[in-house]
Structure 1
């Protein structure tokens, strides 16, 4: 009888090991879900597309008007300037002082029409702080427009164009965002219903 219980225990242990190995193999063979951001899931039937080409100067005015309207009232004032890269300027109140901040980002248009801003450089007064700390501070303290997601650990800002609230229910997709060559184009979708 002792031999039978030993065989049963061995088979049970072998089965558990095979199950663990099988789960491990299945898990590592599954594709990585790299798209943790929004997919362009909005149905665009009932919208007419218009292709818009613009320059940095014009877009600077629109972006800062939008920031002023949507993000005003936060504890930190900031503005965006499009130069050779995307520059964010702000003032951080620390104790009784106001510290100047500048961050630069490299923009990238995504296939779904959204925009990623990958952090490139940063300066806060003369202090050197870790980028992840500053991005977390901005995420926690700035009043950001809906659709703007800051990922401190990835050192990026994700702008979901489909989540930005625009007048008259317009939808927007970014086609090209090349600041070095001043080639910026969008598709505006105007509702027809």
Structure 2
């Protein structure tokens, strides 16, 4: 009886095996990328005027807002803080960062136009998006960023409407202060907030 031993795989077999593995990973990446996300639930709008208290107007600059927001991002994201940056330097808001897919960081950039809501919340409407060199619909880019980017409860990424809802009035602020946006004009560097100090906070 003659036993036939298998020899070492040839370079063609190794090449085809590697190409096949890469092809499978590539397909899996796009399946995950194009998989639909759950519908975004926009929070009910809160109106800080409904609670009795004193109101004050606070004016900020783009530079101060940059420092404040990115400091918050650093604390919220912790070990991923170096992956995400919010930039208020131009006429619009820019969200910059990278998402990881198969041990590779893919950079993304989203340009957003701010719109103040009647209750003082802020909606950022996307005007330009990119995800590395991938040619994808903007809705799909925002869906993938939503999957990968952790956000606080009062921030909602809405791929269907290509927007990000910032529930400023629902932020948890120390001393129970309430905040709303009064104006958000980045072009002219005119940013103002209304701060409400509830009477109960002062013991009234």
Q: Which residue of 2 aligns with 1:81?
A: 87
* Equivalent residues in 2 for 1:1-193, closer than 5 Å: 37-41=43-47, 43-45=50-52, 47-73=53-79, 77-82=83-88, 83-191=90-198, 192-193=202-203
TM-superposed deviation, 1:135: 1.5
Q: TM-score, normalised by structure 2?
A: 0.71
Counterpart-to-counterpart distance in 1, 2:121 and 2:170: 10
* CA distance 1:76–1:61, shift in 2 (3 Å): closer
TM-score using structure 1 length = 0.74
Indicate if the aligned counterparts of 1:76 and 1:92 stay in contact, CA closer than 8 A. Answer: no
Unmatched 5+ stretches in structure 2: 1-41
| Partner-residue secondary structure (3-state), 1:154 | coil
Is the Cα–Cα contact under 8 Å of residues 116 and 156 in structure 1 kept in the other structure? yes
The whole-number CA distance in structure 2 between the counterparts of 1:71 and 1:141 is 12
Relative distance call for 1:153 and 1:168 in structure 2 (3 A) is: same
**1:146, CA displacement in angstroms?**
1.8
Contact 2:75 2:81 in 1 (8 A): no
SS in structure 1 opposite 2:78? Answer: coil
